[in-house]
Amino acid sequence: MINRRTVLLSGGALAALALGTGSAMAAGYPEKSIELLIPFSAGGGNDQVARALAAELDGILGQSVVPIQKTGAGGYVAAQAVATAAPDGYTLGHQSLGTLMLGSLMKEQVLDPMTELRFVAQMALIQSAIAVRADSPYQTLDDLVAALKAAPGDLAWGHTGRGGFHFVNGASLLAATGTEALDVPFKGSSNTVAALLGGEIDYAFLSTSNYLGFEDEMRILAFAADQRDDLLPDVPTVAEAGIDMVTVATPSVVTVHKDTPDEIVTALQAAIREAVARPSYRERLNGMGIAPVFADEAQILAYLDRNLGPWKELVDAAAATAG
């Protein structure tokens, strides 16, 4: 059985939301517009987080921060573009850190994020939720696990693609409970939601943002986390349900070239800290079902140091589950 290690940034990150100031900007930076490369399709939750941040940074930095879609290879097309750009702070990347690092553990990629990128700051946190239809007979996570044990392989579960953090959380649940279920990947969260509501699958791993708007049609049984979601405080965690499993959340982070000067990274961290603290940003993310959470470079690296080992265990378990 996999030992539980929570893959979340500490709650102390919110306490670090002291406002940055213009005086924190590196001398002469920025002197022109900045590109923010987004590896996600337009209109999705991660894309909206990046655009919300860019809108706030415009005023803080005094220069335009221009969101640019650069999709492909699970975020690695955008990551490579950042890694090969000039190390001057004018090309930023937005990444879903959990997905990016899981991708690097699952197969050889075009780059190693740990050695070829710098993680400037975190600006949001997305967690995995276990969802069923509102008319499902499973009222609790215990009910679902009991059904999985009673009929091995009969139930079907959906997610947004193998290799992503929803899939790995789902595989972790099965491994932790010694159960089996049919793994059904879908292209994107909207297709996963449609399959769940249409009865094609029995349960799904989704984000809170996918639940909003479907409150009368869906029920969240638990969060794959050790802390409850602020937007759905009555929903328990898997740990509270007595399941000892590794959980993976995915921080949204800003990256730069590995050789970007410290003073520029520090300036960007201060600007992002201020952006995340602004009520306009926090209200916009809360409205999307996404938690606005700040962490700096040192906190992100400490988080990865704590959790890359458990993630590797999850990747191996997920690969075995997928066959």
199-225 exposure pattern, b = at least 16 Cβ within 10 A, e = fewer: eebbbbbbbbbbbbebeeebbbbbbbb
d(CA 176, CA 178): 6
In angstroms and rounded to an integer, the radius of gyration of the C-alpha atoms of the chain is: 19
Q: What SS3 class is residue 156?
A: strand
pLDDT at 3 over 90: no
Q: What is the pTM of this model?
A: 0.81
Do residues 299 and 9 make contact, with C-beta atoms less than 8 angstroms apart? yes
- State which H helix or E strand residue 117 sits in: strand 117-126
Phi-psi region at 137: left, alpha or beta (left = phi > 0; alpha = psi -120 to 50): alpha
The sign one gets for the Cα dihedral 257, 260, 265, 267 is negative
Convert the pLDDT of each residue in 183-230 to its tens digit.
Answer: 999 988 889 999 999 999 999 999 998 999 999 999 999 999 878 888
d(CA 133, CA 197): 6
Which one has a higher pLDDT value, 305 or 7? 305
End-to-end CA distance of the chain: 19
d(CA 318, CA 253): 24
Percent of the chain with pLDDT over 70: 90
Query: By C-alpha distance, which of 226, 217, 216, 209 is closest to 286?
Result: 209
Q: pLDDT band at 321, cuts 50/70/90?
A: low
What 233-241 contacts at long range (C-beta under 8 Å, 24+ apart), as own/partner pairs, is 235/129, 236/141, 238/130, 238/141, 238/173, 239/4, 239/6, 241/140, 241/141, 241/142
- pLDDT average, residue stretch 103-115: 83
Beta bridge partners of 37: 68, 93
Omega within 30 of 0 (cis) for the link into 30 = yes
